[in-house]
Amino acid sequence: MVGLEFWVRFRQPVYADETIHLEWLVVKVTANEKLKGDIVELRGRIKTQDGRTALGAKGRVLVADRL
């Protein structure tokens, strides 16, 4: 897997002693013959221990058998 593009937005602080939860959602998968793999679009977030979103993210990665 190779990271192609990422966007991150910090919404509030996360402190060193906090427990966080990381979530990623696969939004779309598109085959790409030129790159010999699939482009996967992702959406993610980090939630604090009280359930608030501290960070939002979007990304695109290339998933291929061989690079």
Strands (DSSP E) contained in 1-67 are 2-10, 21-32, 37-47, 53-63
Query: What is the pLDDT at residue 67?
Result: 78
Query: What is the pLDDT at residue 66?
Result: 85
pLDDT mean for each 10 residues of the chain (67 residues): 95 93 97 95 96 96 91
SS3 43: strand
Any idea which architecture 2-63 has in CATH? Roll (3.10)
- CA distance linking residue 18 with residue 24, whole number of Å: 20
Contact 63/36 with Cβ under 8 angstroms? Answer: no
Query: What is the pLDDT at residue 18?
Result: 93
